[in-house]
Amino acid sequence: RPPASAKLLFGPFDDATFLNEVPDFSHSPLFKSSRFCAACHDGSFWGVPVYETFTEWGKSSYSRLGVQCQTCHMQTTGKFDFFADPEKGGKIRPPATIASHRMMGEDPSEFLRNAVAMEASARVQDRLLTVTVKITNVGAGHDVPTGQPMRNMILAVSAAGGQEQSLRFMAGESVPAWGGDLAGQPGKGFAKILLTLNEYATPTHVVNNTTAAEFPSPFWRRNRILSDNRIPANASDLSSYVFSVPKESGRLSIRVRLIYRRAFKPLADAKGWDIPDITIATSELEIEKP
């Protein structure tokens, strides 16, 4: 072991040195392994697994195939040929060896869109329109969404008949209360929901009156997991929504959107956070009423 007074640094390159050439820099292959990410991206509080991105990856085919977190989140861009200033001892290197630290790439919206695929279909029978939506996690080696529990996705489904008149929703799931402006509409939400029992509620959270509980709850409180319907790597979610079709309706128009939100809408509104929605998938269908 080096003496306690030694300044020892680790990094991903095996030829890095300092200006004085003192051998106090050591190569560590851990920097290119998902294990390096585990300490910050896998966390439990009071025994409750609040965020488990590393664990999710460990359960997936990505880990078995040796696809590391850095493979997707620290890609090379070809734009740089050094990571340390050459005037201060840095070396000029092949651009293909310099990893970007932009965790979600140059375009985070495009990065999110590449993580999921959405298929929508519709049929009419006995004056009922059934819309079926399949969402597949095709590009993430962990659940989607993942990480901080306030991250969420919302599937919103709408249908209209002649003169763009909205069709009456008959059956299927609805966007939960934490969906904010989309709550109650045909669709569903995807999130890990934490719950804590409190004697009070704040404007930043939705209150479930049946349990006198406050949720979604901030992760730093003593919580339990109320629900978790996020989509694991390579898995799919299938849901259907039924609408009533009036006799006079002609062509029917269906719109399906998958929206990613960095925070629950009621929380963002209460805090005054200006966080735009990111639409990561859309589908628009038109069918003739038989």
User: What is the C-alpha end-to-end distance of the chain, expressed in Å?
Assistant: 79
The tally of domains found in the chain comes to 2
Asked if the structure places residue 184 within a domain, the reply is: yes
Whether residue 94 has pLDDT greater than 70: yes
Do 69 and 144 lie in one domain? The reply is no
Looking at residue 203, its pLDDT comes to 44
Q: What is the mean pLDDT of residues 117-134?
A: 95
Asked if the structure places residue 2 within a domain, the reply is: no
Residue 19 pLDDT level (bands cut at 50, 70, 90)? low
Do 128 and 234 lie in one domain? The reply is yes
Last residue of a domain, one of 97, 126, 160: 97
Asked if the structure places residue 155 within a domain, the reply is: yes
CATH of the domain at 221: 2.60.40.3880
Q: What is the mean pLDDT of residues 153-175?
A: 92
Do 235 and 164 lie in one domain? The reply is yes
Q: What is the mean pLDDT of residues 146-168?
A: 92
Higher local confidence (pLDDT), 252 or 14:
252
Do 130 and 184 lie in one domain? The reply is yes
Looking at residue 83, its pLDDT comes to 80
Whether residue 210 has pLDDT greater than 50: no
Asked if the structure places residue 42 within a domain, the reply is: yes
Do 250 and 118 lie in one domain? The reply is yes
Three-class DSSP category at 188: strand
Tokens at 213, concatenated? 């509980």
Span 230-251, pLDDT tens digits: 999 999 999 999 999 988 777 8
Do 259 and 172 lie in one domain? The reply is yes
Determine the structural domain holding residue 158 and report its residue range. 108-288
Q: What is the mean pLDDT of the chain?
A: 87
29 prior amide bond cis, ω within 30? no
Looking at residue 28, its pLDDT comes to 84
Residue 17 pLDDT level (bands cut at 50, 70, 90)? low
Residue 229: count of CB within 10 angstroms of its CB = 13
Whether residue 211 has pLDDT greater than 70: no
Looking at residue 212, its pLDDT comes to 43
Three-class DSSP category at 63: helix
Looking at residue 230, its pLDDT comes to 98
Do 25 and 112 lie in one domain? The reply is no
